Amino acid sequence: MPTLAVVDDNFDNRTLIQRMLQRLYQVTVYASGAEALEGLRGALPDLVLLDISMPDMDGTEVLRRIRADERLKRLPVIALTAHAMTGDREKYLAMGFNDYVTKPIVDRKILYDAITRHLPRPDAPGAPPAPPGPAARPAAP
Ligand SMILES: [Mg+2]
């Protein structure tokens, strides 16, 4: 199962995102940038979802440190931002984020689509998400 790190200072946001994704990914949550950097160095995930607005160390500073770290710098990192404005997407991509999702996250699919743009799908490379219920895939020839 692919591993994700979720970094957000807000408990409700962390919990919501974890619940949205835990069926398909092994999710580790971090409540601050400092906690995340320490945790990421200990256990490298496949992708990071990183809140921008956090006290002490905001998401742009966390990203800067990730990109400056030889072991972490290739990690796909998706920015999570509230108060989205025109041009934000370009701004965050220029900073070195791989993608950008606005909060509140009301549609799980938007988050899932952003993740799968940067990670192989958890079930099969190139395959759509498995439908709920019994698998209905054609038999291999
Ligand atoms: Mg925040």
Q: Which domains does the chain have, with CATH numbers?
A: 3-128 (3.40.50.2300)
Tell me the CA–centroid distance for residue 81 and ligand 1, in Å.
8
pLDDT at 136: 47
Tell me the CA–centroid distance for residue 13 and ligand 1, in Å.
8
37-44's contacts with Cβ under 8 Å and 24+ in sequence apart are 37/62, 37/65, 37/66, 37/69, 39/5, 40/5, 40/66, 40/72, 40/75, 41/69, 41/71, 41/72, 43/3, 44/71, 44/72, 44/75
pLDDT at 57: 97
Q: How far apart are CA 15 and CA 12, in angstroms?
A: 5
Q: How far apart are CA 57 and CA 61, in angstroms?
A: 6
Burial 120-130 (b: 16+ CB within 10 A, else e): ebbeeeeeeee
Tell me the CA–centroid distance for residue 7 and ligand 1, in Å.
9
pLDDT at 69: 97
Whole-model pTM?
A: 0.84
Per-residue model confidence as pLDDT tens for the chain (141 residues): 999 999 999 999 999 999 999 999 999 999 999 999 999 999 999 999 999 999 999 999 999 999 999 999 999 999 999 878 889 899 999 999 999 999 988 888 999 999 999 986 656 444 455 545 454 455 555
Tell me the CA–centroid distance for residue 103 and ligand 1, in Å.
10
pLDDT at 123: 60
